[in-house]
Amino acid sequence: MSVTYQILFSAGKILFYILVVVSFVVSALILFKPALAARINERFNAVFSTEHVHNKVDKYIDTTEALLEYRWLLGGVFLAGSALTIKYLVADFDEKKFVALIINPAGLGARTIYEIVFAAVRWFFALFSGVGVVVCLTILFWPASFRKISEKMDTLFSTVEFHKALDASNHSLDNWVLRHHVIVGAFLFMGSCYLMVIFLFVLRK
């Protein structure tokens, strides 16, 4: 179990390091090279245009009927996954061992805070896994009820407002950042330097 925790924590540190480096580069560009930052932002907006999203949103795919068609296979797989997740979170995972093996904080107060945070995350995921079990059982044994619930959810979470938000092109934030690039860039640059120091001298221990 300790090897698994070490692998997960190492992967998290690598991802954190990549994000810190990206934020460092972006903040430096905003602070020292605002014109270059603006050009990169324009290229980024052109590559990740909302027109592609429009085309995908306009396509109607009835995932509910496809799910119900293969409900015994998909529902069984999801149910097994949810059950195994609950079993691991409730019976196997120990936040005290995780904190002691992976983080190993110096003080008793810090250890307690870490244990509280990981315990909250543990039960948060356990709760949603329980919801997943209920959903899977509904798919397997009460498909008509699942279809009605899915139709109500589709009505509540319609893509109409999403379309309106995509149609309204707004570049005010980009312009504001470039107008105040010294303040914004300095703030982000100092924050990136702080995170870099945290990573190099704290997390790498």
Q: Where are the domains of the chain?
A: 2-52+59-203
User: Look-up: residue for tokens 């529902």?
Assistant: 75
Residue 124 pLDDT: 92
> Residue 63: which of 139, 166, 164 has the closest Cα?
139
As a whole number of angstroms, the distance between CA 132 and CA 109 comes to 35
Residue 24: burial class (beta carbons within 10 Å; 0-12, 13-18, 19+): middle
Residue 81 pLDDT: 92
Q: Any alpha helices (H) in the chain, and if so which ranges?
A: 2-32, 34-47, 50-58, 63-69, 71-87, 95-98, 108-141, 143-156, 160-167, 172-179, 181-198
Residues 22-51, mean pLDDT to the nearest whole number: 79
User: Is-contact 95 115, C-beta < 8 A?
Assistant: yes
More confident residue, 168 or 147: 147
* Predicted structure pTM score: 0.48
**Residue 16: is its pLDDT beyond 60?**
yes
Sign, CA torsion 66/127/112/191: positive
Residues 109-131, mean pLDDT to the nearest whole number: 89
Residue 130 pLDDT: 92
pLDDT, tens only, 49-70: 555 555 555 454 567 777 888 8
More confident residue, 9 or 95: 95
